[in-house]
Amino acid sequence: MKKEYDISGMTCAACAARIERVVRKVEGVQEAHVNLASERLTVEAENKSFPLIVAAVERAGFGAVSHKKNAGETDKNEKKVRSMRRKLILSACFTIPLFYLAMGPMISLPVPPALSPMNHPLLYAAVQMVLALAAMIVGWRFYKVGYASLFRGAPNMDSLIAVGTTASFGYSIYSLIRISQGDHHAVHELYFESVGVIITLILLGKTLESISKGKTSQAIRNLMQLVPKTTFVIRDGNELEVPTSKLLMTDILIVKPGARIAADGVVVRGYSAVDESMLTGESLPIDKKEGDAVYAGAINQNGTLEVRLERIGEDTALGGMIKLVEEAQGSKAPIARLADVVSGYFVPIVMAIAFLSALAWKVGGQSWGFCLSVLVSVLVIACPCALGLATPTAIMVGIGKGAELGILFKNGEAVEQLHRIQTIVLDKTGTLTTGKPILTDFIVESEQSRETLLGLLAAAERASEHPLARAIIEYAEEKNIKIPKAEEFQAEVGRGVSATVDKTAIMAGNQRMMREHQIDLSKLEESLMQLEQAGKTPVFLAVDGKLAAIAAIADTLKEDSTEAVRMLHQRGIEVVMLTGDAKRTAETIAKQAGIDAVYAEVLPADKAEVIRSLQAQGKKVAMVGDGINDAPALATADVGIAIGSGTDIAMDSADVVLMHSDLSSVPAAMELSRQTIRNIKQNLFWAFGYNTLGIPIAAGLLYLFGGPLLNPMLGAAAMSLSSVSVLTNALRLKRFKMK
């Protein structure tokens, strides 16, 4: 069983790594991972383990509560940002005068005579101490969490800040005592301003980080906002306005022009055009009449609709999208594992480096002030925040952007795998083609008019339930053909139908039926051959025992299928078609679309075997399908992609769901995957590179070769900027557009 928890008290990747370690030790836990960006723990475990998990997290020094999926998360994040801003402003109010007081005399800036370091050194030091102490109180959480984690043997980012600033503050107190004893030279060994500036810069970084984190979840908030807060219903014969959260399945929804639909249902009265672009990506409004399905979040454009409810709340199609995006954003991509391993050991190693560096410089003859500067610089520059945020932020933004475009990734692994695909296997019916047979040709061999013969054919087929019959009738209706009434209807299974129309004997069916009734087909033999070569199904029309016409019916390519295949070829992808249809029909469709290889007449049970055979050739394979019989193949492929117009079973088996019913989303999904993984690699490179370069510089490497010594305040600024830069880089993915 899988469950999610909101975690409080995390500050860096080391915290996330610690929570994962303690939770995985709980009996019955199969898997646990923490997303630092969303501050969420996802656990797969036995039922009996869940109470133990909360206790384990709390023992580790963090809070854990069951995650509730609701729009309140927006308010929660906004409250956090407001709180961080207040602390930042308060800390800055103490730090700015502290910094001015400490640095002003060095560059000849005016200071009050009573605070002159030369004339009143003790008061000068005492005022700095008070201002630094005030800043420390504002940042009290760093000390509370940092020392608690340190004493548990699991130091984190707060531990680095707490130890570094405490060391600076402690040494400055020692200098103040020396001043009080008459050693006025100790006024040059005060580091109170470092304490205030470090705390303020860390708070600045955390504030910017919180703002950026809020933006990573914008996609979910946008989806949630598609559902109106209130809606009109007919309840007990009365029209009422009720909160959407209070809808009952017995309600009849009244959707007025311009209003959003609050739940999934079926139109029972009214006619209107409905904009469903948020769900299907269909740019044009869709006409809705009695009996048609409508979905939560869609916009009713003109007429008023009355809708019988079928799904409400989280059970709607939109609710399913939100749930899928939330779960995917909380998942972890395999590429994150390296960062996880490093983060778990990073802070203790940094603390050791900091103390050893300071000790080495002391042994080398440097002053305590110099050694303290090295210690604090290493501690504050080395925070692994950027490392912990590198992967989850990019995954969250990438998956969120995909959701906006109708591309739903179910997990981080799908994002990582999709851009590596070498072979795309496409189902034919409903994926490459419309999945709906239509009449494409009508060849006449009679003196009667085309319209008359079409009317006779439609009349004979009207009582049939066969899909080919439906295609003929729809075509006739579209052309406004008058369809006469047929009598003496008779269906011959596997052959066709016969009927009488105005005392005229009508027969419509396949070649076998015509031959059994001695109908001569020779006059249209050439046309028949051309139709069959084009993969079309012929329906013969005989009137009073003579061949009158051939109707050709085919499942045609979707408008964008050829372009989608071309785009895949441009990416160097091999495109394969897999279908149960006859070989000739399959090859015709494949030729029209420009597909490389065809597997035809494949039974549903054998589709997965074809995928395995391609994988055995060393290829990374993605399967795109929409039907129940595609589910095993979707699950077998390295990445399964379900077309959104398909069945629930196909979607459940897939790793990626395309809400658009066209294939152009496939190359777009691959490009989004590529850009997201590239973004993650950039983030990881920056995070690892920053720490690899920053720590030696902070430890005094440049000073050793005649360069400058890094000031602790610059180290704090660099640390904050590293996290913000990673988040900002991830947010660039929001600019991704489908080509």
**Residue 615 burial (CB < 10 Å; 0-12/13-18/19+)?**
middle
pLDDT at 373: 85
The first and second tokens of residue 130, run together, are 């008070």
Expressed in angstroms, the distance from the first to the final Cα of the chain is 40
Q: Which residue carries 């709607």 as its tokens?
A: 316
The reply to whether CATH 3.40.1110.10 applies to domain 438-554 is yes
Question: Rounded to whole angstroms, how far apart are CA atoms 414 and 329?
Answer: 12
Percent of the chain with pLDDT over 90: 22
pLDDT at 620: 93
Domain 2-57 is in which class?
alpha beta
Of the given ranges (216-225, 483-492, 633-642), which has the lowest mean pLDDT?
216-225
Question: Rounded to whole angstroms, how far apart are CA atoms 200 and 217?
Answer: 26
pLDDT, one tens digit per residue, over 426-482 is: 988 778 887 778 898 998 888 888 899 999 999 988 877 777 888 899 899 888 888
Q: What is the CA radius of gyration of the chain?
A: 35
Q: Which residue carries 């045609």 as its tokens?
A: 556
Of the given ranges (51-65, 641-655, 677-691), which has the lowest mean pLDDT?
641-655
pLDDT at 369: 82
pTM strictly above 0.85: no
Question: Nearest-5° angle of CA 300, CA 303, CA 305?
Answer: 70
Q: Which residue has the higher pLDDT, 54 or 689?
A: 54
pLDDT at 71: 46
Whether pLDDT at 566 is above 50: yes
Find the catalytic residue in 158, 251, 340, 427.
427
Q: Which of 322, 338, 393 is closest to 37 using CA atoms? A: 393
Annotation marks residue 427 as catalytic: yes
Q: How far is CA 253 from CA 287, 316, 659, in A?
A: 18, 14, 25
Q: Which residue has the higher pLDDT, 489 or 436?
A: 489
Question: Nearest-5° angle of CA 562, CA 564, CA 570?
Answer: 105
Question: Rounded to whole angstroms, how far apart are CA atoms 400 and 219?
Answer: 5
The first and second tokens of residue 616, run together, are 């055995």
Listing from the earlier edge strand, what are the strands of the sheet with 293-294?
A: 238-243, 230-235, 252-255, 305-311, 264-269, 293-294
Question: Rounded to whole angstroms, how far apart are CA atoms 228 and 247?
Answer: 12
Domain 406-432+558-670 is in which class?
alpha beta
Question: Rounded to whole angstroms, how far apart are CA atoms 660 and 691?
Answer: 43
Q: Distance from CA of residue 711 to its chain's centroid?
A: 41
Whether pLDDT at 544 is above 60: yes
Q: 307 has which bridge partners?
A: 253, 267
pLDDT, one tens digit per residue, over 273-310 is: 888 766 655 556 788 889 988 988 888 988 899 999 99
In 57-123, at which residue ranges do the beta strands (DSSP E only) sit? Answer: 63-66
Mark 554-563 as b/e (b = at least 16 C-beta within 10 Å): bbbbbeebbb
pLDDT at 119: 85
- Banded pLDDT at 131 (limits 50, 70, 90): very high
The first and second tokens of residue 424, run together, are 């795309």
Contact 391, 684 (CB under 8 A): yes
Q: Which of 200, 201, 259 is closest to 230 using CA atoms? A: 259
Whether pLDDT at 334 is above 50: yes
Question: Rounded to whole angstroms, how far apart are CA atoms 153 and 156?
Answer: 10
Question: Rounded to whole angstroms, how far apart are CA atoms 145 and 147?
Answer: 6
Q: Which residue has the higher pLDDT, 331 or 31?
A: 31
Q: 253 has which bridge partners?
A: 233, 307
pLDDT, one tens digit per residue, over 382-421 is: 766 677 677 778 888 888 888 888 888 888 888 889 999 9
Question: Rounded to whole angstroms, how far apart are CA atoms 634 and 425?
Answer: 10
Q: Which residue carries 């954003």 as its tokens?
A: 329
Percent of the chain with pLDDT over 70: 92
Classify residue 29 by its DSSP letter: E
Question: Rounded to whole angstroms, how far apart are CA atoms 175 and 132?
Answer: 14
Contact 211, 203 (CB under 8 A): no
Classify residue 274 by its DSSP letter: E
pLDDT, one tens digit per residue, over 155-213 is: 877 888 888 888 889 888 988 998 999 888 888 878 888 888 888 888 887 787 777 66
The alpha-helical segments, DSSP class H, found in 553-630 are 561-570, 583-593, 607-616
Phi, psi of 578 (to 5 degrees): -130, 120
Classify residue 522 by its DSSP letter: G
Whether pLDDT at 356 is above 90: yes
Q: Which of 388, 238, 427, 414 is closest to 324 using CA atoms? A: 414
Question: Rounded to whole angstroms, how far apart are CA atoms 209 and 205?
Answer: 6
pLDDT at 107: 73
As separate numbers, helices (DSSP H) first and strands (DSSP E) second, the chain gives 26, 26
721 Cβ neighbours under 8 A, 6+ residues apart: 205
Of the given ranges (145-149, 321-325, 492-496), which has the lowest mean pLDDT?
321-325
Question: Rounded to whole angstroms, how far apart are CA atoms 61 and 683?
Answer: 29
CATH for 228-311, options being 2.70.150.10, 3.60.15.10, 3.30.9.80, 1.20.1250.20 = 2.70.150.10
* DSSP secondary structure, 610-675, as one string: HHHHHHHTT--EEEEE-SGGGHHHHHHSSEEEEETTS-HHHHHH-SEEESSSSTTHHHHHHHHHHH
The residue count of the chain comes to 739
pLDDT, one tens digit per residue, over 688-704 is: 887 788 889 988 888 88
The alpha-helical segments, DSSP class H, found in 331-384 are 337-363, 368-381
Phi, psi of 240 (to 5 degrees): -130, 150
Question: Rounded to whole angstroms, how far apart are CA atoms 272 and 284?
Answer: 13
- Banded pLDDT at 565 (limits 50, 70, 90): very high
369 Cβ neighbours under 8 A, 6+ residues apart: 171, 189, 191
- Banded pLDDT at 36 (limits 50, 70, 90): confident
pLDDT, one tens digit per residue, over 568-592 is: 999 999 999 988 777 777 888 888 8
What is the average pLDDT score of the chain? 84
pLDDT, one tens digit per residue, over 81-96 is: 888 899 999 999 999 9
pLDDT at 135: 94
Question: Rounded to whole angstroms, how far apart are CA atoms 636 and 621?
Answer: 9
The alpha-helical segments, DSSP class H, found in 25-60 are 50-59
Rama region for 446: left / alpha / beta (φ>0; ψ in -120 to 50; rest): beta
Q: Distance from CA of residue 189 to its chain's centroid?
A: 52
Give the residue extent of every domain in the chain: 2-57, 69-216, 228-311, 319-405+671-739, 406-432+558-670, 438-554
Question: Rounded to whole angstroms, how far apart are CA atoms 212 and 223?
Answer: 19
